[in-house]
Each structure stands twice: as structure tokens, then as C-alpha cells.
A and B are shown apart, each in its own frame.
Chain A
Amino acid sequence: MSPSDYLYLGWPSGPVYLRVRAKGLWVGMLLALAALLLAGLALGAGALELSHAQVWQALLGEGPARLGAVVREWRLPRVVMALVVGGALGMSGAIFQSLIRNPLGSPDVIGFNTGAYTGALVTIILLQGSYFEIATGALVGGLAAALLVYLLAYRRGIQGFRLIIVGIAISAMLAAFNTWLMISASLESAMTAALWGAGSLNGITWDKALPSALFSLVAMVLTLLQSRRMALLEMGDDSASALGVPAERTRLQLMSLGVVLTAAATAAAGPISFIALAAPQIAQRLSRSHGTALLCAFWVGALLLLLADYCAQHLFAPRQLPVGIVTVSIGGLYLVWLLFRQSRLASS
């Protein structure tokens, strides 16, 4: 690669000077553009078909008030949350796959999603909680499961493979506990819980969306600030330490950020699998770059979830599917392919 593969931003001797891989930057921009175009499409689609001009008018607050309400109050929060939740899951997956150095090391495989679901179930079934209490319950559940996995896997530092195994074990135990909660609950709470557990953006409003979105955005900014350290940590703890990155502390910070991202996403939309697993892999394949991998993972995740939600809403219209069902169906196939490919790599 020649120096022309890099883009230099800023002033060589000024306060700001950055060097980025050009390809990663372009791929990120194209993904963002695609996601925004799809968002425009999603805002216009539905029982009330709107033209691009009408959508644009409604977004600017012009045109008929009725259309404005449909676009701004009903469709926009859903589209924005699809982007934010998808992006958060994509980034969270990128963090874990980088720290664990294994494409299977995504939060939905190692039990954080299941923990969040347990938290939500406990709130719904045992405490009969409201929407925000459920969201808080999911957040607490995800964090508690993550902490448990971390402590059980800790032995003079964290080793990726042990974390995956412990995560899978905890995940299985929590899943059994979740099933027990469901069958011992009243029919009504069990239905609420099942609906929540499918993972859906149906009926999301600004009120419900904002807290989780704010959490996600803060965690994303903090993660991006750590992105260079994350890349150095991939070379092993010794190399990272030699370059002035405190390995164990950085790993703990990044892991906490990843857990917060997953938990915030789960609190808003329920457990949505596959995005955290696939988005970082797709992003890496597209950009072939390291420094910009987090941003690309964000946009791939956002695009994937928006696409899945679009399908869930319109594929079997007027019947709406929970988006979690769409991602789980695609995700299952992807996981089979990933396992197949890994075992082939391992045997060759």
C-alpha cells in the first residue's frame, strides 16, 4: 500500500492532524448514505404511502398537520431507533469480537442478551413493571450477567476463549430460568413477556426511545475515543502495554461500554440477535481496514436493522412481524455458515 491509500486531515503542524485509511472512510460514508436513503424510504412507506416530497415537507414541519404527525411522531422514532439500536449492536459486537479476537465473541452468543431478557422478565412477571421499569430491568439484567461472566472467566486477566465458554454456559442457565419464569407466570404477563422477548420496534415513541438513545450515543462517543487503544489491544497485551496502553484497564472500560450499548439497545427494543454477530464481520470485509472498523460496524448494524425492520413491517403487510424474528431467521443461517467456515479453517 502506498501513502496515497491514506487521507490526511488537518494541518501537519497544527493542533489537529489525522491520518485515516481512505478505503475505510469511503466505505463508511457509502454505508451512511445507504442507511439514510433507506430511512427516507421507510418514512414514506406504510398504510399511508407518501411521496419523497411529502416526507421532506413533513420532516421540515410544513404541509398538512396530519401527515406531519404520521411522519414525525409515528414513523420517525421507529426509523431513528432502528438506526440507533442497530448501530449500537453493531458497535458492541465490534468491541467484543476485537477484545475476544473471535467472531463468535459477540454479546448475543455470550449471554448478555439472555441476561437482559431475564432482567426484563423479572420486572414484567414478578414486579408487574411499566415500560421504563422493564427497560431498567433489562439494563440491570444485562450488566449483572456480564459481570457474572467476567468474574467467572477471570483468572489473572481475561482470556477470550474462556469468556466465550463461560458466557455460553451462563446463557444456557439463564435461558432455563427464563423458561421457568414464563411457565409460572400469568397468561397476561407471559404474553407481554413473549412480545418483548421477540424483539420489536412496534409502537415505539419518542418518550420510550429517548433515554435509551441518549445512553447509546454517549457510549458510542466514548467507544470511538478508545478506538485506537482497542486496535492496539488486538496485538496482545504485551505489545499494547509496551505502547503505553494499560491493557487490563482498557479492556474493562471497553467491555463495559460494549455491555452498556447492548443493554441500552435491548432495553429499547428487546433482545435482537444476529446484528452484533454479523455487522462487524461484514464491516471488516467491506472496509478491509482497522482504524475505521467501529464506525463501519455502526453503519452496517444500523443498515441491517433498518432493513430487517422494513421487511418485518411490509413483507407480510398488513400483518407486522417483530423485527427480532426477521434477524433471528437470517442470523441462524449466518451462524451456521460461520461455524462451518470456522471448522473448515480449523481443520485445514
Chain B
Amino acid sequence: MTSARLSVVHPVPDDASPQHTEPAPARLRGQHLRLGYGDRVICPQLDVRIPDGSFTVIVGPNGCGKSTLLRSLCRLITPQAGQVYLDGKQIRDYPARSVAQQLGLLPQSATAPDGISVLDLVSRGRYPHQSLLRQWSPQDEAAVQAAMQATGVADLAGRAVDELSGGQRQRVWVAMALAQETPLLLLDEPTTYLDIAHQIELLELFRHLNRHTGRTLIAVLHDLNHACRYATHLIAMREGRIVAEGAPGDVVTADMVEQVFGLPCLVMADPISHTPMVIPRGKVHLA
């Protein structure tokens, strides 16, 4: 695959043409990032901006570096070159706790300690707001209750997390991330291992949070149709590069999907949400 970006959709930063508009403000951005593990470089050169107040979804084929990008944005991996900026300052210059007050993460793999209760786990999200002597406050109490209400796990407060179903457990982890009350929230494949109903339920919750609490959400999703339906800003990656980005309605075309995923498809308007809907052609049906 060529590394050329789709010129139609991708804004060229160096372009000084008069019609070039100011980009939306972005508290979180990465500049000239080279990401990888040891000798293995996954993203050779990458610039990314997360528009404030957006529900940004990163999509792309397996191994394209979308999780790596997400992990670098929340400091879980250090870029080999380039910098991630939060509010204009290099993110690695902040104390860990200050970052945790601004930026939450729902990781792909998290272990609930044996027998921990839902209330205890959600309460842990308040850690960045606490200190050695002030380990609890009325604000903590309010944030934990609000997070459990929003995710519908308030009734489960006394239950042990390891007794819950997969969908309930995922909502508990979301509640913990919400209790952290960060303006930016990163979600690493939040819907994996959930059935379709629970996936939609969770995505609806994210959209609600994005619209009604003003949080900026950044998610890695596998399902392109879910991404089209819920994202306000889509970033499509392939082989460690951003191939297209923008509103799903502007970006998602049959060409783009074929270029990113190598999947021949048809793009139609979703009859309910009127966002693009990707329908794979498949070989069998090509008469």
C-alpha cells in the first residue's frame, strides 16, 4: 500500500493557501511521533490532533498502530521521537498525578483484584484527586455516585466484581474511569468481548457523555459502522500512518475503506442515523 494520504480528505498542515481554516482547538496532540517497541517501529512519523469536545474514533486494520497511538497519547509508551502535548506542554513534563486529573483511560486489559466490590473499584478512580491525609471527600462520594448512576451500576454497588457478567463488568470499569472526572477520556477497544446489545448500550453511553458532559472521548474501535455512527471525528490508520481524518460523513467512502482495510465495499447512508454505512461486497456474492 502506498503511504500517500487521500488528498481529498486530509488537511495538509503546511498548506498556506488562503482558504485554509484554523484547525479546531486541541488540548491533546502529538507532533512528529515515532512510536514502537524497541527495534520494531510501528508508526514512523505521525501528527495527530484530538479536537476538543469531539468523540474521536481511531479505526484501522489489525496491527496498524491504533492502540499504540492511543497508548502514546496517555503516556503508557514513550515516543521514540516527537512529543505528545497536553495544553501546549510536553505531557512527559507533568507529574503523573496531574496527567491523571486531566486524562482518564479505560485500558484493554484490567484485572479486578479478587473479591473487590463494585463500590470499592469505582472509588479507586478518585485516587488522583486524593492525598495521603485526605483520602476521601464529599466530592469523591458525589463523583462515585454520579459515575455509578450514569453507567447503571448503582444497584450492583455491593456485589463482587468477579461475580458480574462481562457487560456489567465493563460498565463498572467505565464507571471507574468516569469517577476520575477527567475532561479527556481514552478508551482502548471498549466494546471488545461484548455482545451487540451491550456494545450499542456502551456506545450510546459514550455519546451521551460526550454530548452532555462536554468530555472529549478518544476510542479505538474495531467496528467501522459503529465508528461511523457514533464518532464526531474519525481517524483512519494504515501501517502506522493516518490515511484520512474528519467527520465520518466526509471521510468514509468506498475508496477510503478499500484503501485502509483492503475491503471492496459499498457505502450507503444508514437509514436510521443517516451516517455512512459500510457494506462489504465479499467474493461469493460477486456474480
A residues with CB within 8 A of B: 1-2, 8, 10, 12-13, 15-19, 21, 101, 156, 225, 228, 231-232, 234-236, 238-239, 241-246, 288, 290
Contact = CB atoms under 8 A, between A and B. Distances in A.
B100 A235 contact: no
Contacts of A288: 115
Contacts of B123: 19
A238 B110 contact: yes
B135 A243 contact: no
Contacts of A241: 74-76, 96, 105
Contacts of A243: 100, 124-125, 127-128, 180
A220 to B, nearest CB: 16
Nearest to B133: A16
Contact of A234 (B74, B75, B113, B177): B113
Interface residues of B, number: 43
Contact of A232 (B38, B124, B177): B124
Given A242-B105, A244-B128, A235 B112 contact: yes
B107 A8 contact: no
A235 B105 contact: no
B146 interface: no
Interface of B: 37-38, 74-76, 95-101, 103-105, 107-113, 115-117, 119-120, 123-125, 127-128, 132-138, 157-158, 177, 180
Contact of B127 (A17, A156, A228, A246): A228
A17 B137 contact: yes
B158 A17 contact: no
B132 A225 contact: yes
B109 A236 contact: yes
25 contacts: A1-B158, A2-B158, A12-B137, A12-B138, A13-B138, A16-B133, A16-B134, A18-B136, A19-B123, A156-B37, A228-B135, A231-B124, A235-B110, A235-B112, A236-B109, A236-B110, A238-B105, A238-B109, A242-B76, A243-B100, A243-B124, A244-B95, A244-B98, A245-B96, A290-B116
